[in-house]
Chains A and B, each alone.
Chain A
Amino acid sequence: MNILVVEDHQELANEVIDYLSKNGYVCKWANSCSAALEEINSNDFDILLLDLGLPDGSGFDVLKEVRKTQSKMAVIILTARGELDDRINGLQLGADDYLTKPFALTELGARIYAIVRRIHGFMVNDLNIHGFSLQLQDYKLSYNGIPVNLTKKEFDIFQYLVLNKNRVITRLQLTEHIWGDILEVNSDSNFIDVHVRNLRKKLDKHTSLEWFETVRNVGYRINV
């Protein structure tokens, strides 16, 4: 998977590229509209991560250019401008997703994964981990063929942790993933823990869970 990161803030671009590279994506960086268009014209990318506020114009201009061609490249807009109009405008211009800064890298990872699944016609359906199999299409989990009954939230949490395996996922990240970008300050209460506890209880019936780690005061990690 080739990803072009269009972001004028170099350090931020580095963090994003660093994270994505570790997850097996091949990344290139462009810091302006013109550089982005140049890259797009000379290379094939599967996914474009597009910042809107660029030094030589708006990311929308790049998006318009991209959509003029037959390119099937998926576009995720990354922006600090959380305005509703921008969001609608972006999606109307043919963006596939929209993420407001500051976003969690793991959230970006999850969104990219969803797009990858779509590009491949939902062929990559199952995630397998320590004998568990997550059927993403219909929110079903099984352990060696035995169905495990999870609520939607429990499934979402498990999927998010599995997608970002070997990473510490904070409660905050989980809360944001499950409940969205809510405006309420100090919203990471322990109710996320309730769901994780229930999830662990259900998984624990089938196998020991030493790989499902609780990181004290911080969050959770699934190790492989």
Chain B
Amino acid sequence: MLPVLIEKVVYKHINTSLLEKKEKFICNLDKQEINDFIVRNDATETYSSFSTLHSEFLQLSRLPKNALINKTIFITEPRIIEEERNDYMILQYDFIYEKTAYRLEIGNSLSEIKELTFTIRFFILIVLFIILAVTFLMDTFYIEYLLKPFNKIIDTKIRRVNEPDTFDHTPINTHSTDFQELDTVLNQMMDRISELFNKERQFIANVSHELLTPIALLKNKFENLLQNDSLNDNAVDKIASSLRTLDMLKKVINNLLLISRIENNQYETNETIDLKEIFSNLIEDLKDRMDEKGLILTLNLQYNFPFIGNKTLIHILLYNLMVNAIKYNRKNGSIIISDGFLKEKYYLSISDTGIGMDESQVSQIFNRFTRINADQEGQGLGLAIVNSIARFHHIDIEVTSVPNEGTTFTLLLSNNRKLN
């Protein structure tokens, strides 16, 4: 677009200047002059004059008598002047002077025009680039300035907030109503979220109180009842079985509450976890059960990988995995606990030589109330809890299992979690 425009302007300018020259020439024309022109060059009856650099020429020639008198036309064609061929923009003017037809041609070298257009284009291009650069810089700074409150909102109100409790309600300093509105809306949203969090927290507390208090009452009543010597064996059995059911109920509620509390972020993670220490406690607790089944435990922790977390929860996680490894193991089987580094991550794996699972079973195990076998004990919450705790601590779990050979649970922690 622009080059075409420039070309047009330049051509127009040249045409006008050619026309002006013609007018000047015609005005001053008289017989003497024509003769001066023509005589000097009779052979062709043409007169030529040109500038030294051949950028312009002027040529007057006699036309045959009967030639058509054209008025004024512009043509572009090559001419050879002093053995140099150039493209010219030529003004052709045919006229009659004292009954003789003449043709006047005034030319202007096109190469000059091209040079001119090139210069103009180049200049415009540079100006364009400068404008572009200046606009870009100004925009960047201006937008940066304008968006300062926006970035502050993103940074302080969204990115750094992991929990509604830690949300900062102080309004962001800005004059833009849009950002003020965004800030207000964000504050309101966070208020709603923290209200929901608190409601859930309250609900969990209420559930625990409302459900566990009656269970406590029943449990104590049954225990007191059991002391009655007049009871026959049948009644004692029934009371004992009721106590077991109550215990199960209590544990299911406690397990569900535990999951809710983890997912409600009610646990602090500010303790240093020493896996070796936790395992030595666990093994002490579980020794009886391993001995009962004749299981051989190999504890092969070669690395120290202290990290920040919640000790109680990690203890529960490992306890549940260990209990599974014991429960689903075969008699005189083995449990192997090992660790190492794999692809920038620390891993801890617990392998058993138990009944194992097929792939469809493995995909189910972390769901609540999933039991792989109908005759399996428990309520299928153990691994759901493992999953919640692991997610809470940003630990990945991988499960590999071969039916009738065993199962391996692998916990993966990224290297940067390690405390120094």
Contacts and interface: CB of A to CB of B under 8 A. Distances in A.
B132 to A, nearest CB: 60
Interface stretch (B37-45, B255-263, B339-347): B255-263
Nearest to B207: A80
Interface stretch (B92-100, B179-187, B236-244): B236-244
A105 B223 contact: yes
Interface string B369-398: 000000001110110010000000000000
B360 to A, nearest CB: 24
B219 A104 contact: yes
A7 to B, nearest CB: 9
A12 B213 contact: yes
A172 B213 contact: no
B8 interface: no
B216 A80 contact: yes
Q: Tell which of B246, B251, B312, B319 has the most Cβ of chain A within 10 Å.
A: B251
Interface stretch (A25-33, A62-70, A180-188): A180-188
B224 A83 contact: no
Interface in B282-314: 285, 288-289, 292, 312
Nearest to A216: B233
Interface string A185-203: 1101111001100000000
Nearest to A52: B209
B281 to A, nearest CB: 11
| Chief secondary structure at chain B's binding surface | helix
Contacts of A168: 226-227, 236
Interface residues of A, number: 44
A113 B237 CA distance: 29
Interface in A102-117: 102-106
A15 interface: yes
A170 interface: yes
Interface string A37-71: 00000000000000001000000000000000000
B220 A183 contact: no
A103 B239 CA distance: 17
Contacts of A166: 227
A19 interface: yes
A218 B254 contact: no
B221 interface: yes
Contact of A102 (B216, B226, B239, B266): B216
A103 B243 CA distance: 12
A80 B209 contact: yes
B243 A170 contact: yes
A191 B205 contact: no
Nearest to B385: A183
Contacts of B239: 218
25 contacts: A11-B217, A12-B216, A15-B220, A15-B224, A80-B211, A80-B213, A82-B208, A83-B266, A84-B266, A84-B267, A101-B212, A101-B213, A101-B215, A102-B250, A104-B219, A168-B226, A184-B378, A185-B248, A185-B251, A185-B255, A186-B248, A186-B377, A186-B378, A217-B236, A218-B239
Interface of A: 9, 11-12, 15-16, 18-19, 53, 80-85, 100-106, 166-168, 170, 172-173, 179, 182-186, 188-191, 194-195, 215-219
Interface of B: 205, 208-209, 211-213, 215-221, 223-224, 226-227, 233, 236-237, 239-240, 243-244, 246-248, 250-252, 254-255, 257-258, 261, 266-268, 285, 288-289, 292, 312, 316, 319-320, 323, 377-379, 381-382, 385
Given A16-B220, A166-B227, A188-B247, 17 more contacts: A15-B220, A81-B208, A84-B267, A101-B213, A102-B212, A102-B216, A104-B223, A106-B223, A167-B226, A170-B243, A179-B285, A183-B254, A184-B323, A185-B248, A189-B289, A189-B292, A191-B289
